Amino acid sequence: MRSIVDVEKVLQSYRLYLQMEKGMSANTREAYCRDVDKLLSYLASSGVALRDVTVDTLRYFIGELHDLGIAERSQARIVSGMRSFFRFLSLEDYLNPDPTEMLESPKIGLHLPEVLTIEEINSMIAAIDPMKAEAQRDRAIMETLYGCGLRVSELVNLEVSKIFGEEGYIVVRGKGNKERMVPISEVALDEIADYLFDRDTLDIKPDCANILFLNRRGGKLTRMRIFQIVKSLAETAGIRKNISPHTLRHSFATHLLEGGANLRAIQQMLGHESIATTQIYIHLDSSTLRSDILTYHPRNHRPNPECH
């Protein structure tokens, strides 16, 4: 059996295999290689060598994709890329046996979590009625939900004092009452800054003085109200999918992953700790985390003039 001394050389050989033997187009080859890169990044952060990969290793990897809210169709595509790569390694006598032989593909059934396209999210923001008193607040809510991948509970409890605009971070309180820093885009920060002018005109209740998003009576928004806002915007935009605030979180994770962001960066951004991967969880440097998110999130490099 051949030893895997230089992974990069193996990847170069794999690219030639896809081109010469499989006859794949350049776009398909790049898609397959991106999926392999995601797996290799996961293996490196988990301390697992390529030659030591087992079917359980791959199942843990797919489990992380699922826990991050990545849609089953995207998971299935990534599994297809992994199968191709390990089939190549087996054919070239790098690995034996092929660990993907016993790997099940994610089942694509009728109850998939919905994922919005970037265009659909843009259309929802554009559907906000500028004549409504809460228009600026709702724009800020949408940009923060999608731009930061927040849970609804994290959004309604977000505090004004936990927004660090100059540093480009917010601090949210997630499950288990744990706080984490979350990078936030300039787009979302600008919408929040504009909303704060409207917020200052409210008769704010004393116990909500530090809560960012408020209703017209100066009280904290409920989870149900956020659900209603998102659902109504989807209907106005003509989107027939089954939409909830969590759909924006699924979309956030899927768009980042498909754009090439590091899987660990997405995991930390969402504040998720999978039981299966707790022992191999790697804490990312905050500057690297912010760089990854702001580089790969579509709201940070797609102008969206129709939202104003």
pLDDT tens sequence across 230-245: 989 999 999 988 788 8
**Residue 300 has what pLDDT?**
66
The span from the CA of 133 to the CA of 155, in Å, is 20
* Among 5-9, 41-45, 46-50, 168-172, the least confident range: 5-9
pLDDT band at 301, cuts 50/70/90? Answer: low
* Among 17-31, 258-272, 293-307, the least confident range: 293-307
**Residue 279 has what pLDDT?**
26
Of residues 267 and 100, more confidence is placed in 100
**Residue 9 has what pLDDT?**
86
> 79-82 long-range contacts, Cβ below 8 Å, gap at least 24?
79/103, 79/105, 79/106, 80/35, 80/105, 81/31, 81/32, 81/33, 81/34, 81/35, 81/36, 82/35, 82/36, 82/39, 82/58
Q: Which CATH architecture has domain 7-102?
A: Orthogonal Bundle (1.10)
**Residue 154 has what pLDDT?**
92
Would you please indicate which residues are annotated as catalytic (active-site) residues? 151, 175, 246, 249, 272, 281
Considering the four listed CATH numbers 1.10.443.10, 2.40.30.10, 3.90.1150.10, 1.10.10.10, the one that applies to the domain covering 118-307 is 1.10.443.10
Taking 90 as the threshold, does the pLDDT of residue 59 lie above it? Answer: no
Taking 80 as the threshold, does the pLDDT of residue 132 lie above it? Answer: yes
pLDDT band at 273, cuts 50/70/90? Answer: low
pLDDT band at 292, cuts 50/70/90? Answer: low
User: Would you say the pTM of this structure is higher than 0.85?
Assistant: no
Taking 90 as the threshold, does the pLDDT of residue 202 lie above it? Answer: yes
Q: Where are the domains of the chain?
A: 7-102, 118-307
* Among 87-101, 172-186, 288-302, the least confident range: 288-302
